[in-house]
Structure formats: structure tokens, C-alpha cells
Amino acid sequence: MGKQVDLLQGTLDMLILKAVSLGPLHGYGVLLRILQISGEQLEIQQGSLYPALYRLEHQGWINSEWGESENHRKAKFYRLTAAGRRQLQSETDKWNRLAAVMVGIMSTKPEEI
Amino acid sequence: MSRLARLRSWWKWMAKRQQLESDMDTELSFHIKSHAEELVRRGVPEEEAIRQARIALGFIESHKDAMRASVGLRWWDELGIDVRYAARMLGKNPTFTLVIVLTLGLSIGANSAIFSVIDGVLLKPLPYPRAQQLARVFYRSTTYEKFPLNPWDFLDFRARNRSFESLAMYMHADLQLSGMGSDPVKLSAFRVSSGYFRVLGVQPARGREFDFSEERPGNANVVILSDRVWRNQFGRAADILGRKVLLDSRPYTVVGVMPVGVNHPGNSYNSIAYGDTVDAWTPFPFEGDSNNRGSHYVEGIGRLKPGVTVEQAAADFNGIMTQLASQYEGDRGWTIYLVPLFQEIVGSVHKMLLVLLGAVGLVLLIACVNAANLLLARAAARQKEIAVRAALGAWRGRLLRQMLTESLLISLLGGALGVLLAIAGVRALVSFLPVGFPRTDAIHVNAFVLLFTVLVALATGVVFGLVPAVQASRTDPMQRLREGGRGSSGAAGQTRLRAILVVGEVGLACLLLVGAGVMLRSFVNLLRLDPGFRPQHVLTAEIALPSANYKTADNVAGFYQRLLGNLSALPGVHAVGAGTDLPWTGYDENMGGFTIEGKTPPPHEEFHARYHTASSEYFRAVSIPLLRGRFFNDQDSKDGPRVLLINDVMARRYWPGEDAVGKRITFDDKPKDSDWFRVVGVVGDVKDVPRSKAAEAAFWWPVLQVPLMSMNMAIVLRADSDPVLLTDALRTKVRELDPSLAVAHVRLLDRIAEEQFSTPRFALFLVGLFAALALLLAAIGIYGVISYSVSQRMPEFGMRVALGASSWNLLKMVMKQGVLLAVIGVAIGLGCALILGGILENLLFGVSARDPLTLIAVGAIAIVTATLASLPSARRAIAADPITCLRAE
């Protein structure tokens, strides 16, 4: 049980970092951006979004600033920090390696053994 | 990097809790509004849109909780809740809290106070730069463990050794400062070789140190003053250097002023830093015959070269000693004993302090056990509450943490109380320290001591909190709730645990009681000892005659004769005498060598004894008894035949089985007949200090025949009534004879004698105090356990009463329980005392640390205490009312 949550959490963190790396976003915007860039494939649990944002800010990977939203409300905007950019890069590399390995494994045919 | 970022973020939100809360609210409500607006755009009615947005977001409070946890605040919040809860629980039961906090506070405070003494005396380095390189140099023979140096030997050591950076010697030689327009002042002064200050690593604040040329006779009339003398006697005169001052009525040139706080390294008898109590230093003039190696009266100190050990240096010195011994008769039979200065200074109290720390540590341990015991008792009463919390989903770690928070809160309260007690207690402790205790000025409650206290308090909290906490968190909620909180089944294990704790308490208390008991017996032994003199009603004072004005032995003897004559004529004076040494004040390690008529010393041995000078009435004034022969009388004049008084030890050592009276000794290598001194009497022995194993051999010259001039003498006045009333008369009589003389160190002999008991009294008082505290704690423990057990068994007692048990039967049942705990505890405690007894052996006088009488007495005290502690509970058991008890069931 615990392991799965960890994996999900890690993925969520990566998605958020990727989303804000494309430009400053408020929390709701992060939700929409992930939905958009995933081609409406991934919908994030709204409740887990905010603790994740706070955790990432706590780690120093993103920082936040109050500003005005497109609908003229006071909103908190998150942007990637230099440390966050490095973190995103290393997570991306890790993910790509894992994905490549997984693809290799999953496409193995009986005669290749 | 990331850790720093986390810490910064945690700290930011810790400081801005309010902002965090409002930020979260604004952010989440913005989310809901934005989501709702989008839904409205898709055609959902506004109210419905807000409802859906809320549902999509979920339970806001739980998100906020997760967000707080994300920035590391949850642990902190829970701690706050735990602390508040713990404080509430403690407040609910003030007696319980008060007892634990008070007992812990007392023991933590006592630990901190003793630790601050240890820190100042044993842990802080000596007040000299690179002090670990300093070592004291002594001679050693088969008879003497530590013996002073001969000055000519010192010069050879200084020239030939390869182990010391620098080597110096010094001797105590007080001076009289006069010509200042007021009464003459006695200065505590030392004669030192050049390089003395270089060895210590201190430099004059003004001027310079002595150089080698000033060690030559005739050049030695220069002086270095202490800061205090410069301040008090010369008003900080800027032109002090080069000024001529009158010391012992002779002009000396001031060449230096030392800075504040130059500590004296101590000499053999007063092996204690005098603090900055030395007033002046003058050069030691090397004069006379350099072949005379027999007399020993200077102290050696040196600074080892880096990396050279004391053992290597001693080997080096012993090599030189062998060369010297082949050259000089007087240097045979000696080896060199080097001891690090630190060990020399604190060695005498090292063991006592560690014993005190051990004792006070035991008290703390008992207080911990006691606290654990009380917490266990309370945990029993709180089983239901804990069961409910466990049933409501509190996980075990959380319960454990909450219980530990309580015990840590208690121990920190105790620690705070302890710090206050320590700050107040250290001052009292220092003022109560034995006379001559080393380094008292270094004892303070400082940051290090406070850190020690906090650590001790935290450790205490964990130690006494862990067992009850683990016990409580193990609670099975189902079972406890079913039992309705009366907890009879699990209570058996707990009662056993508490009984074990009480047995431990009793055992530890017994250990301390045995320590206190044997120290008490040792102290009584010391007090009962016949001192060899009678210190009551005796006034003493010291007078030093300046050699410039008293050039001949006749001058000196004449002065003392006239003064003693005048004093004895005073009303109320029983006897008055003068002597170079007072009993029990220590000696400047003098040991005269001599030749006994018709005897040759065994190889590598010399005839030695302490030498003193005394007037004819000295012995009557101090009440040292005459055993054989006669005291000095008027015939023992300058021209009369040479005579001596010796003590019993000397008579037995050198004339065993013979009558020493009439025998002759001499101090000359080639004596004429007139150089022989005849023993005319044998007097009783007085030990150097009361705890000495035995008295040293000693002899006395009469004032008029002493071969050395005795410039400094102590006046002893035995009065018919209160001797203090004679103080003014004494000063007047001295002034009448010579107004330039200072009457110094006016003291009562019984006060001097009393100071000799201050060290054992100090140790006894503290260990006794700790033992009493331990006994009290053990009694509280026994009371607690028996009281709890009685309240558990009340229905049983009610039943017994109903069935006709007599009060006596019930009383016996309850008391037996308490006494049984005590008996097991006593057995363990006395067993430990037998094993650990060796630790105290050196601190005791005339009693073994395993003294059977003490062991029996301690056992009896512990068992009686246990009986008394179980009495209130036993009375409650007797009063059991069958109806009430059975109805409660």
C-alpha cells in the first residue's frame, strides 16, 4: 500500500514541476495545465495538489508569489527555482531511463530469449 | 542545500503561523471560485457550480492538515498538543507533580552544584598557559615520598637536564614592608630562582623578571610586586619601577609588577594554588658552600619540553642524580619524583570529589526510580483513559510519545528548579568548602554546567519516563475497557515491576547510608583522637624580625626573651611561649640531617628529623606533655651546654630500647665537643595533621642556642579565660619593644585545630545529606507501592474483616509486604556496599569501609523506615469496612 502512494506522489511532483516549468501558474492553473498537456488523459486528485505544492516549495524546488489572476482575483503563483529545474532534469532522466528499460522488457518476444 | 531550504521554510512558517493559515484559506477559496466560474461558463447554475467545486476539492480541513504537514509543522503542532495535554494532566494532580518535581529538582540541583565544583577544580585547565607541561620536582627516599630540593643540586639539574624547557625553584620567605608612613605590613613573599615566571608562563605587567646575575649574593636586593600590593600600598604609582622600598628594613629596588591573578603553584604542604595571594617575589641568592648538599628546603617546578613525558624527564633527572651522588656524600640515597602540577594541586581532593559525584549521582538515580514508580502508579489509574485513546485510533508510537512528553515536561521543570538550586547552592557550597580547598575561585555555575544540567534533566526524563510509557502504551484497549478500569489482571505484572523498582531504591539508599555511616565513624575517630596538645584558650600570632635590625642571634633571642617576659607579666596569661611552628599548621618541609653520637646510619639513609625552635614555656603554653627528662630552663643559655628536646617518635626511632635523655647529636661534619647537643627531655608527639598516619620525628632547639637564626616565630599565649581579650595587649607589648614590627595572623589555636577537620566534615555533611535524601525517597517509594497495593486489596481486606480477621492480622499482612521489600533491598544494598567499599578506603580514618557495625545499623534503619512507611497504609487496611468494600465489588 505504502509503496504505491510513494510512486504516485513522486509522479505527481514531477508533473507539477513540469507544469510550472512552462510558466508561472496558480494552483488551479497547475491542474488545468496538466490536464491540457496530458491531452486530457490525466486528471489529478484536487485534494492532493495543494499539499504537493507546499511540499515542493518546502523543498525549495518552486517558490510562490501573490499576484492577480486572469479573472482578476488575488492568487498565488508558483514558479520553478534553479534547484527545481535541476530536480526536474534529473527526474526526467531517471524517468526516461526507466521507461526505456520498461519498453525493452515489455517488448521482449519468446524467440529473443 | 535542500535541507537548508527546508529549515528556512519551516522557520518562516513557524514565525508566520497566522499568515500560513490565511494564505491557505485564500488559496483554496480561489481554487473553488475559479473552478465554479468555469462550471458556470459550461452552463451550471452558480449555486450548483460552487457546490460541485467544493465536492471536487474534497474535505478542506484535511487538505490544510496535509499542507501544514508538508511544511513540517505537524510534528510541531502535535508536540504543542502533547505539551498542553501533559500540562493539564500534571495540573490535575498537583501533589503528584509537586512531589516528583521537588525530588527531581533537589537531586538535579545537587548534581549540578557538585558538577560545577568538579568542572572548576578538575576539568578546567590550570590558570597557566600550556599548563599540562608543568611538573613539580621532588626528591624521594625509602623514608620520604616527597622531599624538597637542595639549592645547589637545583643548579646542577638546571644546567644538565635535557627534558625541561625551563626549571625554577622557590621558597616561602615572608617580608615586612615598612617606611610607608603607616604600620608595617607583612607581605606573603617567595624567594625564586630566575626564570620562575618563565616556567609558569606569566610575564610582569610592568618591568621585567629576575635575571641570572640577581641570583648572586649581594645582587638580590630587587623585588617584583603583586598587582594588589602595587594598588593598595603604592596607589598604582606610575613611577613604581626603580623605586626603593624597605623590606625587612633593607632597601630593595622594584623591578617589576605582576598582572592581576598570578596564581601561586603551591608548595608541598599547602599543595594548593594560593590564588593570587602572593604579595612579592625576591631572587633566591645562592650563597655559602656549594658542596653542602645535605639540607633540603626549596621547591622545584619546571616546564617540560613538548612531547617529553614525566617518566622520560624523571629518568633524565635520575641519571643526573646518580652523577651527583658519586660526587657528594649528601646526595646519596635519593631518587627523583616528578609529578604533573595538576595532579599535585588537585590530587588531594580528586578522589573525594569523585566520591561526592558518585553519591549525588546515586541520589539522582534514586529520584529517577522514584519518579518512575510514581508515574507507574499514576499510569495504573489512567489505564482507562489510555484505553479510550487507543480505541479511538491513537497508534502506539503516538501514545508513547505523549507519555514521554509528560515525563520530559516534569524533568525539565525539575531541571529548571535544579538550576535555581544550583546557583544558590554553589555559593553556599563554596563558602562551606574545607579550608585550603584548591581552586575555589574557579568554581562557578557557567554555561557548561547549565548544559550539563539540561542534559541530565532530559536524560532523567527519558530514564524515568520510558518504562511507564512503554507499559502504558502496551495497553490492550478491549481488555482494559472490559475490566472497567479497575485493572486487576495486568496489574500483577505492574505491581511486580514497581516492587522491583522499590527494592532498587532501598538498595541504592543503603549504599549511600553505608557511605555516610562509615564517614561518620571516621569523623568521630578523628575527633576522639588525642591531638597531643590542648588547643583551647590559646591565642597565637606571628612575628617576623627584619634581619637588618636584628643582625645577631643575641639580638633575636634578646627580643623574644624581653617580649615573652613582658607578656607573661600580663594579668590573665597562664603561660606564654614562642616557637617556629604551631601544631597542625603544616611545615615548610624542613628536615634537618644530623649525626648521632656512636651510631652510623644504614646505607643510603641519613638521620633526619623535623627541626624547630622553641622558648622554655612554649610546651606549657600549647600543653605538649613532657614524657621524660626536663623542659628547657634558664641554664640553656647562649653560653651554656648545648641541649635539645626531642619527641617520642624520634626517641623510639633512633634510640630504640634505650633512654634517649642524655644522648648527643650534632649538625657539624667535624664537630668540636661544644658542637654536640644533649637530649634533655622527651615530649609527646603531635602529628603534622590529624589524619597523618603517625607523627614525624622532631626536635627543638632552645631559642638562645639555635644554630640558625629564627627570625620568624609564632607567639603562643595560654589564657586563663577568653584569649581574644589579650589581642590588644599583645599588640601593645610588641609595639612598646619595636614599633616597626607587624603582628600577623592573630588566630586562636582551637580555630586552627578545627580547620583540620573541615575536609572530613565537609564530605560527611554532603554524603550524609545525600543519604538522608535517598532514605526519604526510598520511604516515599515504599509508601507508594504499599498504599497502591492496599487500595487494590481493599475488597479482600473487607472480606477478611467480615470473616473475622483481627486488626493485628491485617496489620501484619500489610507490614510484612513493606518489610519484605526493604529486606531484599537491604540485602542487595549491603552486598553492593561490600563490593564497592574499596573506593572509600583512603578517605577513612580508623574505620573500614566494610565496617560491620555500620552495615548492621544501616540495615536496621532501612527496615525501620520501611515499617514506618507502610504504617499509614496498614492502618487504612485495618479500617476496611466490610460493607463498603463488598458493595464496591
B762 has a pLDDT exceeding 60: yes
Q: Is the pTM of this model over 0.80?
A: no
Query: Using CA atoms, how far apart are residues B465 and B397, in angstroms rounded to an integer?
Result: 14
Its sign, for the CA torsion B798, B800, B803, B807, is negative
Asked if B31's CB is within 8 angstroms of A28's CB, the reply is: yes
ipTM, two decimals: 0.87
Residues of A in contact with B12 (CB under 8 A): none
The DSSP secondary-structure symbol of B640 reads S
pLDDT digits (tens, 9 = 90+) for B703-745: 888 877 777 789 999 998 888 888 989 999 998 998 878 787 8
Confidence of residue B281 (pLDDT cuts 50, 70, 90): very high
Predicted local distance difference test score (pLDDT) of residue B648:
94
Q: Which residue's entry shows cell 467545486?
A: B53
The DSSP secondary-structure symbol of B645 reads E
* B882, burial (CB in 10 Å: exposed 0-12, middle 13-18, buried 19+): middle
B56 has a pLDDT exceeding 60: yes
Count structural domains, chain A. Answer: 1
Nearest residue on chain A to B33, judged by CA atoms? A73
Predicted local distance difference test score (pLDDT) of residue B70:
84
Share of chain B above pLDDT 90, in %: 34
**Grid cell in block for residue B421:** 538550586
Measure A30 CA to nearest chain B CA, in Å: 11
**Grid cell in block for residue A86:** 535541476
* Residue B5 or B489, more confident: B5
Predicted local distance difference test score (pLDDT) of residue B481:
63
Point out the residues of chain A with pLDDT beneath 70: 1-10
Most confident listed range (B246-250, B391-395, B852-856): B852-856
Query: Using CA atoms, how far apart are residues B642 and B666, in angstroms rounded to an integer?
Result: 10
Confidence of residue B179 (pLDDT cuts 50, 70, 90): confident
B487 has a pLDDT exceeding 50: no
B580 has a pLDDT exceeding 70: yes
Confidence of residue B169 (pLDDT cuts 50, 70, 90): very high
Count CB neighbours of B308 within 10 A.
16
Predicted local distance difference test score (pLDDT) of residue B318:
94
Q: Do B286 and B152 meet the contact criterion of CB atoms below 8 Å apart?
A: yes
B403 has a pLDDT exceeding 90: no
Query: Using CA atoms, how far apart are residues B95 and B616, in angstroms rounded to an integer?
Result: 70
Q: Do B175 and B248 meet the contact criterion of CB atoms below 8 Å apart?
A: yes
Mean of the per-residue pLDDT values for chain B?
A: 86
Q: Which residue's entry shows cell 512531589?
A: B99
Give the SS3 label for residue B841: helix
Query: Could you give phi then psi for residue B783, rounded to 5 degrees?
Result: -55, -45
Query: Using CA atoms, how far apart are residues B873 and B813, in angstroms rounded to an integer?
Result: 11
Contacting residues for B462 by C-beta, under 8 A, at least 6 apart? B404, B407, B408
pLDDT digits (tens, 9 = 90+) for B507-517: 999 999 999 99
Asked if B57's CB is within 8 angstroms of A58's CB, the reply is: no
Q: What is the largest CA-CA distance in chain B?
A: 140
Its sign, for the CA torsion B457, B459, B463, B469, is positive
Query: Using CA atoms, how far apart are residues B138 and B305, in angstroms rounded to an integer?
Result: 18
Residues for chain A: how many in total? 113
Q: DSSP E strands: which ranges in B110-217?
A: 134-140, 164-172, 175-178, 185-187, 189-192, 206-207
Predicted local distance difference test score (pLDDT) of residue B833:
92
Residues of B in contact with A90 (CB under 8 A): none
Most confident listed range (B274-283, B284-293, B675-684): B675-684
Predicted local distance difference test score (pLDDT) of residue B510:
93
The DSSP secondary-structure symbol of B330 reads G
Mutation for A interface: B6, B16, B30, most A CBs within 10 A: B30
Strands, sheet with A25-26, edge to edge from the N-terminal-most edge strand: A25-26, A74-80, A62-68
Predicted local distance difference test score (pLDDT) of residue B588:
52
Measure A55 CA to nearest chain B CA, in Å: 5
Q: What is the full DSSP assignment across B430-483?
A: HHHSPTT-TTGGG----HHHHHHHHHHHHHHHHHHHHHHHHHHHT--HHHHHHH
Query: Could you give phi then psi for residue B648, rounded to 5 degrees?
Result: -60, -40
Confidence of residue B273 (pLDDT cuts 50, 70, 90): very low
Asked if B62's CB is within 8 angstroms of A47's CB, the reply is: yes
Q: Containing domain of residue A31, as a range?
A: 2-112
Confidence of residue B480 (pLDDT cuts 50, 70, 90): low
Option in A48, A51, A71 nearest B37 (CB): A71
Q: Do A84 and A48 meet the contact criterion of CB atoms below 8 Å apart?
A: no
Task: Let me know the angle formed at the C-alpha of B37 by B32 and B39, rounded to the nearest 5 degrees.
Answer: 95
pLDDT digits (tens, 9 = 90+) for B322-349: 999 898 877 888 899 999 998 888 887 8
Asked if A27's CB is within 8 angstroms of B26's CB, the reply is: no
Q: Which residue(s) pair with A78 in the sheet?
A: A25, A64
Residues of A in contact with B71 (CB under 8 A): 54-55, 57-58
Nearest residue on chain B to A30, judged by CA atoms? B31
| Distances in whole angstroms, Cα of residue B737 to Cα of each of B101, B567, B865, B879 | 66, 11, 66, 85
Confidence of residue B483 (pLDDT cuts 50, 70, 90): low
Predicted local distance difference test score (pLDDT) of residue B271:
41
Contacting residues for B767 by C-beta, under 8 A, at least 6 apart? B355, B356, B359, B512, B515, B516, B519
The DSSP secondary-structure symbol of B183 reads S
Give the SS3 label for residue B717: strand
Predicted local distance difference test score (pLDDT) of residue B478:
66
Q: Which amino acid is at B563?
A: L
**Which of B280, B216, B274, B276 shows the shortest CA–CA distance to B253?**
B280
**SS3 letters for B597-623?**
CCCCCCCCCCEEEEEEEECCCHHHHHC
| Distances in whole angstroms, Cα of residue B721 to Cα of each of B335, B726, B777 | 51, 10, 48
What CATH number corresponds to the domain at position A49?
A: 1.10.10.10
Contacting residues for B881 by C-beta, under 8 A, at least 6 apart? B798, B801
Query: Using CA atoms, how far apart are residues B828 and B546, in angstroms rounded to an integer?
Result: 65
pLDDT digits (tens, 9 = 90+) for B30-44: 999 999 998 999 999
Q: What is the full DSSP assignment across B513-533?
A: HHHHHHHHHHHHHHHHS--SS
Query: Could you give phi then psi for residue B626, rounded to 5 degrees?
Result: -90, 125
Q: Which amino acid is at B394?
A: A
Predicted local distance difference test score (pLDDT) of residue B831:
93
**Which of B182, B236, B181, B233 shows the shortest CA–CA distance to B205?**
B236
Give the SS3 label for residue B258: coil
pLDDT digits (tens, 9 = 90+) for B530-577: 889 999 999 999 888 877 788 888 888 889 989 999 999 999 899 999
Q: Please, what is the angle between helix A46-59 and helix A82-106, to 10°?
A: 120
Q: Which amino acid is at A11?
A: T
Predicted local distance difference test score (pLDDT) of residue B685:
93
B225 has a pLDDT exceeding 90: yes
pLDDT digits (tens, 9 = 90+) for A14-32: 889 999 999 999 999 998 8
Most confident listed range (B179-193, B383-397, B507-521, B682-696): B507-521
